[in-house]
């Protein structure tokens, strides 16, 4: 592995490799001493052009648990706010000796540009690029941690595997992804990855929050959440945040009112009761409690939302390990 940019480019074998490596990383985090010497002497830069708390801290924790040196770079208060281009920022980071750059950017395609422009590294000294979210395009590590969480909870139950499903895919599982699909890079990443792993995905949203061309995606769509839960009987329900900050014209341009949205597409006590006993409730965070998910649903025993955060560290440790210390025979691949 050289880069992790998109779930579109992950093969089944590569996806399972990341998940299995994450399982090994997660096992080390139950020890008294959680730190591993794997990336000692390597430098990881968190390059964030968008506000983020949990993703940046998760990547920082993952890198430090692998003994890497971590530099946090925020666009606010930096030379970027003075007009510095992405290219000049990349050249500066390369000059400082970065081994990997974790980038979050408001523009879709920015991580791909960094990875393939030649601004970072060289053929003799490549710099790995990890996409931590670009516009409404992709967020691969979020999709991987979601798949990891689903596999740990459901593969043993449905597929008859032991442990946390190491070596297994998600074939036969049904996942409902509900909410603001239009603005969600999480939804786009999950649809591709879950399909690669063999799961059946249904997107549930009002027509105004489904993107143009969604019919070409490898999933089914529905406008009716109650019907999907009652008749589809999903194994996992993933609620998406309503991203009002990305809605030009405000949320009112996409649905009549927050109350109406919550009534039609929110996960509440009544809808929880419709789910099979083994179904897990997920959310990429941060949550809008009372809008896309009620407090009762978010805090219910079937909710794995907090566990997703913990699993995110293990998955990002796995990604950094495979990019910076993995099998050299994979050099040159971009996944």
First and final CA of the chain: distance in angstroms? Answer: 7
- How many other CB atoms are there within 10 angstroms of residue 6's CB atom? 22
**316 assigned ligand-binding residue:** no
Task: Evaluate whether 127 touches 113 at the Cβ level (below 8 Å).
Answer: no
**56 assigned ligand-binding residue:** no
What is the chain's percent helix, strand, coil content, to nearest 5?
Answer: 45, 15, 40
- DSSP state letters, 96-137: TT-SEEEEEESSTTHHHHHHHSSSS--SSS--EEEEEEETTT
**195 assigned ligand-binding residue:** no
**104 assigned ligand-binding residue:** yes
**142 assigned ligand-binding residue:** yes
CA distances (Å), origin 96, targets 91, 100, 231? 9, 12, 56
**139 assigned ligand-binding residue:** yes
Task: Give the angle 194-199-204 at the CA atoms, nearest 5°.
Answer: 80
Annotated binding site for carbamoyl phosphate: 54-55, 104, 139, 142, 285-286
Which residues are documented as binding site? 54-55, 82, 104, 139, 142, 185, 241, 285-286
Q: Which residues are annotated as a binding site for L-aspartate?
A: 82, 185, 241
């Amino acid at each position: 592995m050289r880069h992790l940019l998109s779930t579109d480019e992950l093969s089944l074998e590569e996806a399972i490799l990341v998940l299995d490596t994450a399982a090994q990383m997660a096992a080390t985090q139950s020890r008294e001493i959680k730190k591993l010497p794997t990336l000692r002497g390597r430098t990881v830069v968190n390059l964030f052009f968008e506000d983020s708390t949990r993703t940046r801290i998760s990547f920082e924790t993952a890198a430090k648990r692998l003994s890497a040196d971590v530099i946090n770079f925020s666009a606010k208060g930096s030379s970027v706010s003075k007009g510095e281009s992405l290219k000049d920022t990349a050249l500066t980071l390369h000059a400082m000796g970065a081994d990997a750059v974790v980038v979050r950017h408001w523009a879709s395609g920015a991580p791909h540009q960094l990875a393939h422009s030649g601004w970072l590294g060289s053929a003799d000294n490549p710099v790995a690029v990890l996409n931590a979210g670009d516009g409404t395009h992709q967020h691969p590590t979020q999709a991987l941690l979601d798949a990891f969480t689903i596999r740990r909870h459901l593969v043993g139950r449905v597929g008859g595997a032991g442990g946390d499903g190491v070596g297994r895919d998600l074939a036969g599982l049904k996942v409902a992804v509900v909410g603001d699909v239009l603005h969600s890079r999480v939804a786009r990443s999950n649809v591709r990855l879950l399909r690669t792993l063999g799961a059946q995905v249904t997107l549930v949203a009002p027509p105004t929050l489904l993107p143009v061309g969604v019919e070409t995606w490898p999933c089914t769509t529905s406008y009716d959440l109650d019907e999907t839960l009652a008749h589809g009987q999903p194994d996992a329900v993933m609620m998406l945040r309503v991203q009002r900050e990305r809605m030009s014209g405000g949320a009112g341009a996409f649905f009549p009112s927050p109350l109406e949205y919550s009534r039609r597409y929110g996960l509440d006590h009544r809808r929880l009761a419709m789910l099979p006993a083994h179904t897990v409730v997920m959310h990429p965070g941060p949550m809008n409690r009372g809008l896309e998910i009620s407090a009762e649903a978010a805090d219910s025993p079937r909710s794995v939302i907090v566990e997703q955060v913990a699993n995110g560290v293990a998955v990002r440790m796995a990604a950094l390990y495979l990019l910076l210390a993995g099998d050299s025979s994979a050099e040159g691949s971009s996944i």
